[in-house]
Every structure is written in C-alpha cells, then in structure tokens.
Amino acid sequence: MASPPTFTADIYIYISLSLHRAPEAHGAGWSKIWDAGKSDLWDRGQASPALVDIVEKHQRPGELFHPFAADGRRKRVLVPGCGRGYDVVMLALHGFDAYGLDISATGVAAAEAFASKELQNPSAANFGPNHDNKEFQSPGNVKFLEGNFFASEWENEAGGEFDLVYDYTFLCALHPTMRKNWAARMASLLDKDGLLTCLEFPMYKDRTLPGPPWGLNGALERRATDMLSVYQRK
Ligand SMILES: C[S@@+](CC[C@H](N)C(=O)[O-])C[C@H]1O[C@@H](n2cnc3c(N)ncnc32)[C@H](O)[C@@H]1O
C-alpha cells in the first residue's frame, strides 16, 4: 500500500504559492509548480487505497457507492484538484461518470495522458480484494476540465450537479481562509442527495503552522454548518 504523502518540499510549495499572492490567487502558484515539473512533490502515482476500499465495500444497489442512480443513469462524480487523475480513472473503472478538475493546464494534460493509457490497461492499484462484482465492470466516462474550483466557468462543460465529490489533498492545498468558500462551493456543486467524501490529510499538523499542506484536524466539522446553510437554500 502506498504511504501517505509527506510533502517533503512543502517550503518550496509555500514559497511558490505565497510570494506576492493573496490566497484567492494561489491557483497561479499551483500552475507554476506544475509547469516547473514539480508535481512529484505530492504525486503518489496511484489511486487512493482508502477510496478503493470504501467504494468496493459499498457498491451494491442501494449502497452509498453504487454507481447507478434509481433511474438507471450513471452517477456523476467530481474530483476537484485532481492532479494526474488517478482517483478519477479509478472511479470510472468502478462505474461512475467521472470528472476531474484542475486549475493547471499542464496538470490536465498529464491527467488526460494518464487516463488514455490506464483505461486501456488498468493497473492492479485500481482494484481491491472486494472487486468481485462483474455488474460494475463496465467503466463510466472520464472527462478532465481545466478550471478554478471557486469560479463557475467550467460548470457548463461539466453538465450539472454531482452525486459524489471526492476531495483528497485538495482542501489541505487551500489557504485556511478559503475553507468557508470551499464548503459553500461543495454544497452548491453537489446534488441535494449528493455525497461529499473527503480523505483528510494532514490530521497531525498544528493548524497554526504554514502550508500547504495546511493542517486539517477538525476543519470539516467546523465547515459543516457552512455547507448546511447552502443546502437549505436549494
Ligand atoms: C496537492 S495537489 C493534489 C493532487 C491530487 N489530488 C493528488 O492526490 O495527486 C493539489 C492540486 O489542486 C490543484 N488546485 C489548486 N488550487 C486549485 C483550484 N482553485 N481549482 C482547481 N484546482 C486547484 C493543483 O493544481 C494541484 O493539482
């Protein structure tokens, strides 16, 4: 199993993001890091093992990660800050129509290149021991979008709300002052019966220390009310 990311060069990322930039403009810093060929600072080279595990344990009809809605359509899943798109491809291989969003054009091109190879010949890392149900072996579609999670210009191309959003090392990549907006965006992008799934990292890091990654311990609980207030307006 892959070890969790360490962000050994987090100082490099911190400098690239923060120099002369307000938190709302950190996206340009991420693009700069991609363009400098430094995505290996966070890239683990495969889908999240914990996501594979939870999806495969709850894929039967009526369960949370069943890839089909009651009307028979494939469920739509978004992975914001998808990087090279490992989780996007894995979710498509488990039956979802999967969308990856990244602010970096270089990142999106890398994700498209990865997906076109991986969907032809998926590696074992996409599956776990519970992947024994043939019903789900017809993959959904994969689409990568270049755009800013906090802006809406990419939404038309994505075609509507999502049944599932998966966040892995995206929330921790955002400045803590962006978390309220993150919660509001998540709530507005999800269908009213949608499911937000977050693999939180890092939980151990003091929240007052600089990032990224910024410490996340307790962040989701604190943002739950922001999400609810958007849901109530739906
Ligand atoms: C730490 S990396 C994680 C990538 C991927 N989730 C993974 O695990 O390999 C954070 C990613 O978020 C992207 N990103 C940062 N800010 C963004 C924004 N506002 N909108 C969309 N993507 C963003 C970066 O370009 C980068 O690919």
The answer to whether residue 9 sits within a structural domain is no
The answer to whether residue 40 sits within a structural domain is no
Q: How many structural domains does the chain have? A: 1
**Ligand 1 in contact with 214 (CB < 6 A)?**
no
> Does 80 sit behind a cis peptide bond, omega within 30 degrees of 0 on the bond before it?
no
Rounded to 10 deg, the angle between the 49-57 and 86-93 helix axes is 20
The answer to whether residue 147 sits within a structural domain is yes
Closest ligand 1 atom to Cα of 44:
9
CA–CA dist 30, 21 (Å, integer): 12
Residue 106 has pLDDT above 80, yes or no: yes
From residue 66, alpha-carbon distances to 70, 140, 152, 191, 202 in Å are: 10, 12, 28, 16, 28
The answer to whether residue 20 sits within a structural domain is no
**Ligand 1 in contact with 169 (CB < 6 A)?**
yes
* Domain CATH number, residue 168: 3.40.50.150
The answer to whether residue 6 sits within a structural domain is no
Q: Provide mean pLDDT across the span 198-218.
A: 85
Q: Say if residues 177 and 219 touch (Cβ distance below 8 Å).
A: no
Q: Provide mean pLDDT across the span 11-40.
A: 80
CA–CA dist 148, 102 (Å, integer): 7
Q: 66 versus 137: which is more confidently predicted?
A: 66
Q: Of 5-14, 55-64, 129-138, which one has max mean pLDDT?
A: 55-64
Angle at 156 between CA 155 and CA 159, to 5 degrees: 90
The answer to whether residue 22 sits within a structural domain is no
Q: Provide mean pLDDT across the span 129-147.
A: 81
Q: Which of 30, 182, 201 to mutate to test the pocket of ligand 1 (most atoms within 8 A of CB)?
A: 30
- Tell me: the pLDDT tens digits for 154-185? 999 999 999 999 999 999 999 999 999 999 99
Q: Which residues contact 31 (CB under 8 A, 6 or more apart)?
A: 103, 104, 105, 106, 107
Q: Which of 10, 114, 170 to mutate to test the pocket of ligand 1 (most atoms within 8 A of CB)?
A: 170
**Ligand 1 in contact with 181 (CB < 6 A)?**
no
Any idea which residue has 């340009």 for tokens?
28
The answer to whether residue 52 sits within a structural domain is no
Q: Say if residues 112 and 37 touch (Cβ distance below 8 Å).
A: no
SS3 of residue 81 by DSSP: coil
- Tell me: the pLDDT tens digits for 68-94? 999 999 999 999 999 999 999 999 999
Instruction: Residue 202: give the domain boundaries.
Output: 57-232
The answer to whether residue 106 sits within a structural domain is yes
113 Cα distance to chain centroid: 18
Q: Say if residues 75 and 97 touch (Cβ distance below 8 Å).
A: yes
